[in-house]
Structure formats: C-alpha cells, structure tokens
Amino acid sequence: MLSVEVAKLKLENPLMIASGVCDMTPDLLRRAHEEGAGAAVTKSIGIKPKKGYDNPTIVELPYGLINAMGLPNPGWEAFYEEFINEKFDFPIIVSIFGGDEKEFAFLAEKLSDVADAFELNLSCPHAKGYGMEIGQNPDMVYRVVRVVKDVTDKPVIAKLTPNIDNITKLGLAAERAGADAVSAINTLKAIAIDIYAKKPILSNKVGGYSGQGIKPIALRAVYDLAKALDIDIIGIGGITTWQDAVEFLMAGAKALQIGTAVSLRGFEVFGEINEGITRFLIDEGYNDVREIIGIALE
C-alpha cells in the first residue's frame, strides 16, 4: 500500500531520513530503516575532511531549528572505507557537495560503488563557496547535474534552495540536465540574536531554518515544481505529522524526507507517519499511496 518508486529507486514506503540529521553511521541508517524509513540520505560528503563551525551551531525555536553546522564530514576517502563493505536492504542516497562542477563529478565517480543514488547539495545556506552560493544559479545547477550524469549511472537528485525568487527555474535546469528527481526544499537562510549578549547566537551568525515553521513554504515549492516538471519530486520541509506527509504527497511529492522532526522526537516519527498515512488511505477508500500523489494539482 505504501511502496513507491522515485528516481528509479524502489522504496517500501515514501519516507526517507534527510541528510545531516545525526552522525549517520551505517548502524544508525539501519536503525532509521527499522523504525520505518524507506530510504536514507547520508550527511553531505566533500573531497576533504571538514570540521565544521565552532559551537553554538544550533538554535531551537518554538517551531523549528536554525543550524549552521558548516558541512562537517570525514571526506570522501574515510566515508568510502566506512561504507564499502556494508550491505543494506534499502536504498542509500549519498549526499555530496563541492565548490564547482568538477568536484561534484569527482565525488560521484569515487563514491558510485557505495551509493544507490546521489543527492547533490546545491542548497546549503550557510557554507561559504558551497551549496546555495552555487545552487541559486540555474546555469550552475545545469552544469553540476550534467557532469555528474556523465560520470555515474546511478540516479541523480538535485536538492534545491528556496532562497531564490522562483524555485522552478532551478528545477527546470536540473530536469534539462538529466536529473532523475529534485528534492525541495533545503533550509531557509535565517538568524537569531541574543539580546543580552547583543550579537547573533550562532558562531557563523547566519544559519538555515528548518522545521514546522517552513512547512507552508516547502509545500508551495513542491506544488509549483510538480506543476512545472516531469521528473520526480521529493518533498522536504517541516514534515512532522502524517497529515503533513499527506499534504506533500497530494501536492505532487513522490517521496518525503524528514529531518528536524527526527532530531526533536527521534526515529519513531517514521512509524507514526507511516501508520497515519495507511489509516488515512483506508479510511478514504484508497488502495495505494500512489493514488493520492499529485491529486491536489488536478
């Protein structure tokens, strides 16, 4: 009832753990799957090890989080060594980031043996020289997707930034370049200030806002992309309840990534959301989750 195919990947349910939620060791990814995630997206991996920013890196707000982690990761070689001998019975989507299209291509080529698909981080709002700084330009989105498609036969997913006037321009560029899917959205550029210290709380000053507060924005982005694109869409942004998940599916998302809700409530959110979607489908007379995907577009 809940199985879907997205970006040529077969998932037993539409839920994925989003990139960067926790220290994503093979065992933690397996635990997310055991708790109900149909697939897992790894932390974003770069060419060299990256420590990330100094603390504080997270601010908790009433309706979400602002984070500026700085893309901490072990580098592609250490990641490869950790994952190359691991076996998974669910899709592993490797998130990669680079400063230009050559770095993305290098990583995709080196990590193809440990990835079922790649998610291109074209949208991190707080890492200078990476992510959003590249991903706001449709021409650069096209170039990155194109070179990655040239070096790997694994599905390619472009993760899009909402920090732009029209996200469909980015989606269309990714589609033209041959992307198998887009994921939307990444976090919104944000800041929090300590009124007693009289300065921004985060060490990087600016971070990315995620969680319940961005859900209407993310849902609108998915809706707009679904109307404009022919490739698959993976919805991200504030999905906390099964009702949220159903909204994103009806707006045209074929799969959903969950991040902040996992950080705040634990892996059990996957089981709760899957159970809620199943109950909804039965109560509303549907036999398959695919029957409601995009129904709000009609």
Q: Is 204 annotated as a binding residue?
A: no
Identify whether 124 is a catalytic site residue.
yes
- Structural domains in the chain (count): 1
Q: Are 35 and 274 in contact (CB under 8 A)?
A: no
Predicted pLDDT of residue 128 = 53
Predicted pLDDT of residue 20 = 85
Q: Is 95 annotated as a binding residue?
A: no
Can you list the residues of the chain whose pLDDT is less than 50?
Answer: none
CATH of the domain at 207: 3.20.20.70
| Averaged pLDDT of the chain | 94
Q: Are 234 and 183 in contact (CB under 8 A)?
A: yes
Q: Is 238 annotated as a binding residue?
A: yes
Query: Alpha-carbon distance 33 to 10, whole Å?
Result: 14
Please identify which residue in the block is written with the tokens 């996992």: 262
pTM: 0.96
Q: Is 169 annotated as a binding residue?
A: no
Predicted pLDDT of residue 21 = 80
| Catalytic-labelled residue, pool 4, 18, 37, 124 | 124
Q: Is 187 annotated as a binding residue?
A: yes
Count the Cβ atoms, other than its own, within 10 Å of residue 74: 16
Report which residue type is found at 100.
D
Which tokens is 194 given?
């300590």
What domain range is 56 assigned to? 4-297
Q: What are all long-range contacts of 106-111, with beta carbons under 8 Å and residues at least 24 apart?
A: 106/47, 107/45, 107/46, 107/47, 107/76, 108/148, 108/151, 108/152, 108/154, 108/156, 109/151, 109/152, 110/76, 110/80, 111/45, 111/76, 111/79, 111/80
